[in-house]
Every structure is written in structure tokens, then in C-alpha cells.
Amino acid sequence: MNPVIQQASESIGMGGMATILTLLFMVAFFAWVWYAYTPRNRQKFEDAALLPFEEGVDR
């Protein structure tokens, strides 16, 4: 194995990597769920759902 990668893997360990990545992924997941469901965006997304029916209409 590449000595640099080996050193990195030994210094942090697979468990530590997995922990950090799992936390990062969870934060990302909660972020996009919040973005989709926050009441502030409700009207915006209800309007967006109608876009396929607005062809040829300028707004």
C-alpha cells in the first residue's frame, strides 16, 4: 500500500473514519429533508410542481 495512505489509515483508524463519515452523511440527510419540508419553502415548491403545465407562458 502507498505509505502515505497507510500512515493516514493507521493514524485515524477505520472506526474513526466510519464515525466521521456517518455523522457527515446524517447532517447532509437532515439538511436536505429540512430544505424540502421547511414551511418557508412550501409555497415555492407548490408552485414548482406546476411548472410542467406552464409551457409557452412567460412569467
CB 23 within 8 A of CB 29: no
Residue with cell 505509505: 3
Question: What distance in Å separates the CA atoms of residue 22 and residue 27, rounded to the nearest whole number?
Answer: 9
Enumerate residues 1-30 that contact another protein by CB under 8 A: 14, 25, 28-29
Q: Which is nearer to another protein, 7 or 34 (CB)?
A: 34
* Minimum CB distance to another protein smaller for 20 or for 33: 33
Binding site for another protein (CB under 8 A): 14, 25, 28-29, 32-33, 35-37, 41, 44-59
